[in-house]
Amino acid sequence: MLGGNVKTILSDKGRDIDLSMPTTISGRQYDFQPTKEVERIVIPFSCDVGEFLIEMQLEK
Amino acid sequence: MESSFNIGEEIVKGTKDVFSTMLMVELESETVCKSCPIESNLTSMIGLGGGIRGMLAIHCPASVATAITGGFLGMNVEEINEDVKDAVGEIANMIAGNLKVSYASVDMKIELAIPTSIIGDSFVVTGIADASRIIAPFTMPAGKFWVELMYVNNT
């Protein structure tokens, strides 16, 4: 749904994007990193039960 | 799509091609499966868009990830570091590139997103419920690894 909103915002501005399939990674201990040089945007959020992050990576 | 087009075979062929040209390693492949146990310390994945929506991933135990990197750099690599992440990411990129060529041969155009790596001792990667899953197991001298395609067709 977040991806869909980003797609809508970008296509309204004349830059349509394709969304691939959502994938979920779950586990007790792992690290998630881009492989190529990317621009990263990380936005922290908090709600009653705790904090979470939304991240977007775009190829430079 | 042509009935002779078998995406599992294309993945096996494309992966063997990358390993023999880039690393001079001839891979053994096993029968492609829909769900088989995977053991991974480093997974590199690439989103696919355009004609299909999905992702391609290579799942490697530490022994295989470091052996691939050692083959690339021509030196011994002991642990999963930045070089290993980049080397396996590049392998994933090349396998996805071959897949793009395979799909183009049946007039399907797919787009590749940027590779992302997941490193750890205890994690699982899952897609969405109605996605098709194809897992190709391979063996090289350093051990076993898996190349996985998850996708939904855009109709």
pLDDT along chain A (60 residues), means of 10: 93 89 88 84 96 90
Nearest to B121 among A24, A29, A32 (CB): A29
**Of A44, A34, A46, nearest in space to A54 by CA:** A44
**Residue B130 pLDDT grade (very low, low, confident, very high; cuts 50, 70, 90):** confident
Element (H, E) at A34: strand A24-34
User: Is residue B1 situated within a structural domain?
Assistant: no
| Residue A59: closest C-alpha in chain B | B114
Domain that holds residue B126: 7-19+28-153
Mean pLDDT of chain B: 92
CA angle B11, B146, B24 (to 5 degrees): 70
Q: Mean pLDDT across the stretch B83-94?
A: 94
Domain that holds residue A37: 2-59
Helices within A1-60 (DSSP H only): 2-12
B-chain CB neighbours of A30 within 8 Å are: 118-123
How close A47 comes to chain B (CA, Å)?
Answer: 25
Instruction: Give the strand pairing for A38-47 and A50-59.
Output: antiparallel
Total domains in chain A come to 1
Total domains in chain B come to 1
Q: Mean pLDDT across the stretch B58-85?
A: 94
The count of other CB atoms within 10 Å of the CB of residue B22 is: 15
- Predicted local confidence at residue B141, as pLDDT: 94
Q: Whole-angstrom Cα distance, residue B132 to residue B129? A: 9
| Residue A31: closest C-alpha in chain B | B119
**Residue B2 pLDDT grade (very low, low, confident, very high; cuts 50, 70, 90):** low
Instruction: Give the strand pairing for B52-60 and B42-50.
Output: antiparallel
Q: Report residue B31 CA to chain centroid gap.
A: 15
Q: Mean pLDDT across the stretch B56-60?
A: 96
Of the listed ranges A34-38, A43-47, B2-6, B85-89, the one predicted with least confidence: B2-6
Query: What CATH number does residue B15 fall under?
Result: 3.40.1550.10
**Mutation target among A23, A36, A56, A58 for the B interface, most CBs of B within 10 A:** A23
Q: Mean pLDDT across the stretch B100-122?
A: 92
Q: Is the predicted pLDDT of residue B129 greater than 90, yes or no? A: no
B24/A contact by beta carbon, under 8 A: no
- Predicted local confidence at residue B1, as pLDDT: 52
ipTM score of the complex? 0.80
A18/B contact by beta carbon, under 8 A: yes
**Residue B35 pLDDT grade (very low, low, confident, very high; cuts 50, 70, 90):** confident
Distance between first and last Cα of chain B: 12
- Predicted local confidence at residue A46, as pLDDT: 97
User: Is residue B132 situated within a structural domain?
Assistant: yes
Q: Whole-angstrom Cα distance, residue B90 to residue B44? A: 9
